[in-house]
Structure 1
């Protein structure tokens, strides 16, 4: 069934060509359930292989149910070793997407709750919050969407979608760079300092520019700007996963100790970035205060970190010590 009238009703802006399925789901902003028929037990047993296997996906949008043939595999690194549920990558058939009125952007990345209990749900909630918080400070972020996964086990597993590279390329009219190495010297300076300060706020040291560890680099068309976009925040102190530990060479004992990792940042650059972050304090605190699924204990802890962060930004002497 073609759903184009329904899709255009959901999208608040005029898009060139057909909207992608991800765009439609994100614009609707309602939790949708992906019912996936596949050999789930086999996927879990062979999760370290990251090999695709056949799957059938059922989605209910409005009054219509769509069915797509697909390929599904596990994804991730540390989470594959320590989590009960692996993260997933799904590829729908492009011809079926086009027939349903969507564009052919067909790849979806899922982050699942690590364990099937309240602790796993809390990690998931806080990691999605970090993605949402990043959008407060930067225009170049991954969009996310809370979803449910019905894997035929009698219940629904909580998860969220993280925008795939091809979606970011279409949205930003840009290319996501496919390189193995990168230098901080080649990055857009304002975007780089913004990224460093954001990771400092959320107590995240699990990133590295040189080998593109937990960073994507976006180059908007017509520019030579290499803009870093961080992702995978489960090792941050904001998320507080039980398995997260800092690298030994950083000289910090836990992920809850702030550590500045910016390189060759000038006083003027960090002062400018601090002014931008200071202007967003009200939005940051509101996002944390109003989050419906965030436990009160976690809310208080995150707000304390935000308060400490802003005290640093307001004290020029202490702020400039970061870049000495």
Structure 2
């Protein structure tokens, strides 16, 4: 009789066990998502790297494997890999990538909801070029210091394993937040529009954009239009709605800046600068009244910015000294008697 009773309640006990396990899993604290901390992750990415490198202009997609450690265990996720970019595709030994995380497989992990993200890679093999991605990563983080309307980045010490040859390479790289997520985080929408005009741009945020680009000496951008279907060049627009003002510009791609000082980059044609490290302010004259506030916002973060660079262990002494001196020259300029005027005198329109 007892045996029959146990048999009768066995299904209920099994259901209770499954429900309890599921509840415990749901209640368990989830790991911090990417882009929410400054931690640099150690990861391994497996893929057919030699084949990808030989076919980097094909637009093809390959399957790979992405793994990292969490709570003493290794988490492995299937990913898709595709070469991307324009200039860097032509000059890089190892191309920049777009990496796609499987939605179902990444549930409950650090990479939950990651989707398809840009991965900035080391580009060239030689040791002397390894500072490029590190300094570009720092440029993103510097802009994070002064405004939430900026792309967050996830630094990673990456071990690449070629599934065809077994060859391994260890380099620094970083993921860039999706523009839809940047906009959503700020209560906005990414605007898929062809272009905009200066009066539509938010004066304060646009001035921060312009002063930041002056800080890192970057001229490779546009906030009014671009070569692709949607605005802009090395910037995306965000706003409350397509037909609503103000509009906000979100900058990205800083490898052509004087701060990074990549050997393959050069100033855009038509601008009267000798080299990447010669600063030129490209703000709009109608926003000049907002420039002092933008300068002050960056000036207030000087200590944090300099500490970020000085404490970056992936920069060798020479690269660090060069980066520090370059940033210091900005603060010396804006702190001088004609500091603000030296910027606004070259405004546009």
Q: Shared fold (TM-score greater than 0.5)?
A: yes
Aligned partner of 1:203 in structure 2 is: 217
SS of match in other structure, 1:48: coil
| Total equivalences in the alignment | 311
Quick check: 2:207–2:287 contact (8 Å CA) kept in 1? no
Aligned partner of 2:238 in structure 1 is: 218
Quick check: 2:34–2:110 contact (8 Å CA) kept in 1? no
Aligned partner of 1:191 in structure 2 is: 205
For residue 47 of structure 1, report the CA deviation from its aligned partner. 0.8
Calculate the TM-score normalised by the size of structure 1. Answer: 0.86
Query: Is structure 2 residue 66 aligned with structure 1 residue 52?
Result: no
SS of match in other structure, 2:308: helix
SS of match in other structure, 2:307: helix
Query: Is structure 2 residue 273 aligned with structure 1 residue 256?
Result: no
Q: Which moved more, 1:63-72 or 1:236-245?
A: 63-72
C-alpha distance in 2, partners of 1:35/1:256?
34
Q: Which moved more, 1:314-323 or 1:88-97?
A: 314-323
Aligned pair partner of 2:340 in 307, 319, 323: 319
The structure-2 alpha-carbon separation of the partners of 1:4 and 1:122, relative to structure 1 and needing over 3 Å to count, comes to: farther
Q: Which moved more, 1:172-181 or 1:217-226?
A: 217-226
SS of match in other structure, 1:71: strand
C-alpha distance in 2, partners of 1:101/1:317?
48
C-alpha distance in 2, partners of 1:105/1:89?
12
- Written as runs of structure 1 = structure 2, the 5 A alignment for 1:141-152 is 141-147=150-156, 148-152=158-162
C-alpha distance in 1, partners of 2:339/2:93?
42
Q: RMSD across aligned C-alpha pairs, in angstroms? A: 2.7
Quick check: 2:43–2:66 contact (8 Å CA) kept in 1? no
C-alpha distance in 1, partners of 2:202/2:196?
12
For residue 130 of structure 1, report the CA deviation from its aligned partner. 1.0
Query: Is structure 2 residue 82 aligned with structure 1 residue 82?
Result: no
Aligned partner of 1:180 in structure 2 is: 194
C-alpha distance in 2, partners of 1:149/1:250?
40
For residue 64 of structure 1, report the CA deviation from its aligned partner. 3.1
C-alpha distance in 2, partners of 1:188/1:98?
37
Quick check: 2:98–2:117 contact (8 Å CA) kept in 1? yes
Aligned partner of 1:29 in structure 2 is: 39
SS of match in other structure, 1:115: coil
The structure-2 alpha-carbon separation of the partners of 1:265 and 1:49, relative to structure 1 and needing over 3 Å to count, comes to: farther
The structure-2 alpha-carbon separation of the partners of 1:321 and 1:240, relative to structure 1 and needing over 3 Å to count, comes to: closer
The structure-2 alpha-carbon separation of the partners of 1:318 and 1:168, relative to structure 1 and needing over 3 Å to count, comes to: closer
C-alpha distance in 1, partners of 2:142/2:75?
32
Between structure 1 and structure 2, the one with the greater Rg is 2
C-alpha distance in 2, partners of 1:214/1:171?
20
- Written as runs of structure 1 = structure 2, the 5 A alignment for 1:50-129 is 50-98=59-107, 103-129=112-138
Calculate the TM-score normalised by the size of structure 2. Answer: 0.80
Quick check: 1:4–1:101 contact (8 Å CA) kept in 2? no
Aligned partner of 2:17 in structure 1 is: none
